[in-house]
């Protein structure tokens, strides 16, 4: 008898609403995708932030610093022309160039607050340069035109040195030739500037101007180099972030896939199994065997359905005249 009872069909119905089970199943399926979505959004925003910093800050500051160096060299060129020719147009052009530099420095400070110490030093050098140019203009207006003989001597010396350099160019490398030409050109600029600054006071002012310009160029060059270094570091960080995102998203996606496979087997069984048990019980009763065990607890649609099936089987047993007509 015990062996037969073990073989009897059994119906397990717990007090869980079918609607809640379905809702829980859908919620779990959706929650499985949350880590993947959150990680994807995180890495997307992080990568976008790095790219924006490269484009809008680091690279922009580097190009601005490079542009500032070029503009300062233009200012020095107009400065030398003014010392040489005493032309007010050169002085005006120099002043406009310095105003452009002021705007560029302010733009760099707004974009990259971390370089405030450098930008303040550049502004101080620029103010010293502007002050020196004003003093030079006042002194030049008092001194008049420079002697032409010194200018001719500087030009003759420059031509002679160029001829000597070109004659010996075949014995050296191209890089050495370019370096020597650059050095000689710098000396020529200094000689031309000195030709217009025989006045000791003007020479002192000119030296101060050159020191301010050189300091400005050093600061701009250092700022440019640091900015390009930051661009390179951001590029490496973006690559590392991309590799880490691939590994993390791949691992999480694999884990989510395994969980989803497990859920696809477990949850349907939790939802459908009570119904399958009831179907088996009804089929068993339809075959004429009313010995069915019911384990019904709590409330819910499945429990109500199980009670109804149990009552129906009991009623059929009673109609059939079964001596054991009382429900189990």
Q: What is the pLDDT of residues 197-222, one digit of tens each?
A: 556 777 788 888 888 988 998 999 99
> In the prediction, which pLDDT does 5 show?
45
What is the distance between the terminal CA atoms of the chain, rounded to a whole angstrom? Answer: 16
Compute CA distances 48 → 41, 59, 222, 250, 262, whole Å.
10, 15, 27, 20, 35
> In the prediction, which pLDDT does 6 show?
44
pLDDT in tens, 41-77: 888 888 888 888 888 889 999 999 999 988 988 888 8
> In the prediction, which pLDDT does 326 show?
46
> In the prediction, which pLDDT does 128 show?
93
Compute CA distances 190 → 140, 169, 209, whole Å.
18, 24, 13
pLDDT in tens, 92-124: 998 999 999 999 999 998 988 888 899 999 999
Exposure string of 196-231, with b = 16+ CB inside 10 Å and e = fewer, is bbebeebeebbebbbebbebbbebbeebbebbbebb
> In the prediction, which pLDDT does 190 show?
60
Asked if residue 19 has pLDDT above 90, the reply is no
The ranges assigned to domains in the chain are 2-40+246-320, 52-227
DSSP 147: P
> In the prediction, which pLDDT does 245 show?
85
DSSP 43: H
Task: Report d(CA 225, CA 61) in Å as an integer.
Answer: 10
Q: Tally helices (H) and strands (E) across the chain.
A: 9, 2
pLDDT in tens, 262-320: 777 766 666 676 777 777 777 777 777 767 666 666 566 667 777 777 777 777 777 77
Rounded mean pLDDT of the chain?
76
Binned at pLDDT 50, 70 and 90, residue 149 comes out as: low
> In the prediction, which pLDDT does 35 show?
80
Which H or E run includes 233?
helix 200-286
């Amino acid at each position: 008898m015990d062996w037969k009872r073990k073989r009897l069909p059994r119906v397990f119905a717990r007090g869980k609403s079918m609607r809640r089970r379905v809702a829980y199943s859908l919620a779990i399926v959706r929650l499985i995708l949350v880590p993947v979505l959150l990680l994807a959004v995180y890495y997307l925003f992080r990568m976008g932030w790095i790219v924006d910093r490269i484009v809008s800050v680091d690279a922009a500051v580097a190009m601005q610093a490079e542009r500032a160096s070029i503009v300062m060299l233009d200012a020095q060129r107009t400065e030398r022309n003014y010392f040489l020719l005493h032309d007010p147009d050169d002085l005006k052009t120099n002043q406009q160039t310095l105003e452009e530099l002021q705007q560029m420095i302010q733009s760099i400070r707004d974009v990259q607050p971390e370089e405030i110490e450098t930008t303040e030093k550049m502004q101080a050098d620029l103010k010293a340069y502007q002050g020196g140019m004003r003093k030079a203009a006042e002194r030049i207006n008092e001194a008049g035109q420079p002697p032409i003989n010194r200018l001719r001597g500087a030009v003759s010396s420059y031509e002679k040195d160029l001829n000597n350099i070109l004659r010996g160019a075949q014995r050296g490398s191209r890089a050495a030739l370019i370096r020597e030409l650059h050095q000689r050109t710098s000396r020529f600029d200094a000689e031309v500037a000195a030709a217009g600054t025989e006045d000791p006071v003007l020479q002192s002012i000119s030296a101060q101007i050159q020191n301010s310009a050189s300091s400005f160029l050093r600061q701009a060059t250092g700022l440019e180099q640091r900015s390009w270094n930051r661009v390179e570091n951001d590029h490496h960080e973006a690559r590392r972030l991309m590799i880490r995102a691939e590994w993390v998203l791949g691992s999480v996606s694999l884990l989510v896939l395994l969980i989803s496979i497990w859920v696809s087997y477990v949850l349907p069984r939790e939802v459908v199994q009570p119904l399958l048990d009831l179907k088996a019980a009804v089929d068993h009763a339809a075959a004429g065997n009313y010995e069915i065990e019911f384990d019904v607890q709590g409330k819910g649609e499945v429990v109500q359905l199980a009670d109804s099936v149990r009552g129906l089987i009991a009623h059929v047993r009673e109609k059939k005249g079964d001596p054991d007509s009382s429900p189990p």
